Amino acid sequence: MPKRVVPEHLRRRRRPTKGGTVLSEQLIVDTALRMLREHGGQGLTARRLGAALGADPSTLYRYFRGMDELTLAVGDALIGRALRGWSPTYDWQKDLRTLGLRIHTAYLAHPQAAVLTASRVSGRAHEIASDEAVLGVLHRAGFATADAVRVYHCFIDQTLAFAALDAAALALPEAARRADEAVWRATYAGLPASTHPHIAPAAPYLVAEMNVSAYPAALDMLIESAAARLAGP
């Protein structure tokens, strides 16, 4: 059964925890982000989070119904960081590209959190604000509502899919990540044209391309495709 959440106006403690900390939802989310960065997803538990905050773990349920709700709040915080300071230029292609890169970058700044949250839907304030921002960009560009939703769907799924993929690579142990990167140079670059006529001439380009994110290029392709649809036949 879900834990009962104390109404927002009653959540804040009037006195510090035994560790001298005055709890807030923002502090808990920020601490969870730090713990995810340091210990990964398996290291984020109510017990450990309570210890890091100097509070009894049960105190966390004054703010969140459970760890899953906290996970959603962490994801929403990443989107909030992406939107911080953004305002439209009314060049829709530039605005869409900027929003995509901001979201992708915000997730990659916290790869362990991104792996946990990129596939989730929270319905929280920052997520809703980002949806409104993207749809607003597309509306001002002249897309009909149904077409705007179609472009938005492709845009946000592509952005979050790349965020999850790229974050998963960054979250690997350093040795594993470097080993994966070396495969392109050590294996693919040595394949002969006699047995691999397509890979062999492409090998130098594969070595140069495959260890960096394809997201910026994929985003440009999506925007170009959307612009062509908007222009019509």
CB atoms within 10 A of CB 106: 20
Domain spans, the chain:
8-65, 87-231
Mean pLDDT, rounded, for 195-203: 96
Q: How far is CA 133 from CA 42, 152, 223, 227, in A?
A: 33, 10, 16, 18
pLDDT band at 42 (very low <50, low <70, confident <90, very high): confident
CATH architecture of 87-231: Orthogonal Bundle (1.10)
What mean pLDDT is reported for the chain? Answer: 91
Tell me how far apart the alpha carbons of residues 60 and 52 are, in angstroms, rounded to a whole number. 12
Q: Render pLDDT for 119-178 as a digit per residue (tens, 0 to 9).
A: 999 999 999 999 999 999 999 999 999 999 999 999 999 999 999 999 999 999 999 999
pLDDT band at 20 (very low <50, low <70, confident <90, very high): low
- The CATH fold of domain 8-65: Arc Repressor Mutant, subunit A (1.10.10)
pLDDT of residue 39: 85
pLDDT of residue 8: 52
Same fold: 8-65 with 87-231: no
